[in-house]
Amino acid sequence: MKKLFVSAFVSIMALSSCQSDVVDPTSIDITAAPVVALPLGGIGLTMDHLLIPDSSLIFDDNTTYKVIVAQDSVFGIDVNDLISIPTQSPSNSSISMGTIAVTNVSLTQDIALGAVAADAGLSPISSAHGSNSLFPPLSETNVGTYGGSGFGTFTSASFSNGTLTLGLTNGWPVPVSMGIDLVNSSTGATILTYALNNIAANGGTGSDTESLVNITLPNSIGFKITSLTSPGSGTSLVAIDTTDNLELVISSADLEVYNAVTQISTQDISSDTQYVDLSTGGSEELRELMFSTASFDYEFVSTLAEDLELNLNFPGSDQNGIEVDTTITIAAGATTTGSINLNGTVLDLTQDPSQNHSKLPIAVAATLVGSGNLVNIDSSDALDMTFEMTNLQFGHIKGYFGSQQITIDPGAVDLAIDFLENFDGEISFAEPSIAMSITNSIGLPIQLVLDFNSYKDGTAYGLNGPDYVLPYPTTVGNTSTGTLSFDNTNSSIVDVFTLPKDSITYGGSVNVNHDTATFGTENFVTNSSSISGDLLMEMPFFFTATGLGFYDTLATDQNNSGILPDGSELESAKIVLQTASTLPLDASLTLSFYDANWNTLLVKNLGLVESGIPDANGIVVTPNTLDAELELDANEANAVLDAVHITVEATMSTYNAGSDPVKLRTDATLNLNLGAQFKVNVTL
Per residue, what are the HEC states of 628-662?
EEEEECHHHHHHHHHCCEEEEEEEEEEHHHHCCCE
Let me know if 459 is exposed, middle or buried by CB neighbors in 10 A (0-12, 13-18, 19+).
Answer: exposed
- Ranked by mean pLDDT, the top range of 242-251, 370-379, 599-608 is 242-251
Residue 22, pLDDT score: 46
% of the chain beyond a pLDDT of 90: 54
Whether residue 664 contacts residue 584, with contact meaning beta carbons closer than 8 Å, is answered with yes
The amino acid occupying position 310 is: L
The residue-averaged pLDDT of 338-355 equals: 95
CA-CA-CA-CA dihedral for 612, 420, 597, 678, to nearest 10? 0
Convert the pLDDT of each residue in 286-329 to its tens digit.
999 999 999 999 999 999 999 999 999 999 999 999 999 999 99
Distance CA 576, CA 595 (A): 21
Handedness of CA 9, 15, 18, 23 (dihedral sign): negative
Distance CA 232, CA 227 (A): 15
Residue 5, pLDDT score: 34
Convert the pLDDT of each residue in 68-100 to its tens digit.
888 888 888 889 888 888 787 888 999 988 898
Convert the pLDDT of each residue in 397-412 to its tens digit.
999 999 999 898 898 8
Residue 433, pLDDT score: 94
For residue 259, give Cα distances in angstroms to 190, 214, 331, 425. Answer: 20, 10, 20, 101
Residue 151, pLDDT score: 85
CA-CA-CA-CA dihedral for 277, 281, 284, 285, to nearest 10? 10
The residue-averaged pLDDT of 620-642 equals: 85
DSSP conformation letters of 279-290: --SSS-EEEEEE
Distance CA 100, CA 98 (A): 6
The DSSP 8-state label assigned to residue 620 in this structure reads B
Distance CA 452, CA 471 (A): 20
Convert the pLDDT of each residue in 156-180 to its tens digit.
899 999 999 999 999 999 999 999 9
Query: Which domains can be identified in the chain, with CATH numbers?
Result: 2-29 (no CATH), 39-51+546-683 (2.60.120), 65-83+402-540 (2.60.120), 103-262 (no CATH), 273-399 (2.60.120)
Residue 317, pLDDT score: 96
Convert the pLDDT of each residue in 542-560 to its tens digit.
778 777 777 778 788 888 8
Residue 683, pLDDT score: 66
234 pLDDT band, cuts 50/70/90, is very high
Distance of CA 145 to the CA centre of its chain: 82
H or E element in which residue 15 lies: helix 2-16
Residue 608, pLDDT score: 78
Comparing 437 with 58, the larger pLDDT belongs to 437
Residue 164, pLDDT score: 96
Distance CA 481, CA 289 (A): 25
Let me know if 89 is exposed, middle or buried by CB neighbors in 10 A (0-12, 13-18, 19+).
Answer: exposed
198 Rama sector, left if φ>0, alpha if ψ -120 to 50, beta otherwise = left
Comparing 503 with 335, the larger pLDDT belongs to 335
Residue 21, pLDDT score: 44
Residue 14, pLDDT score: 34
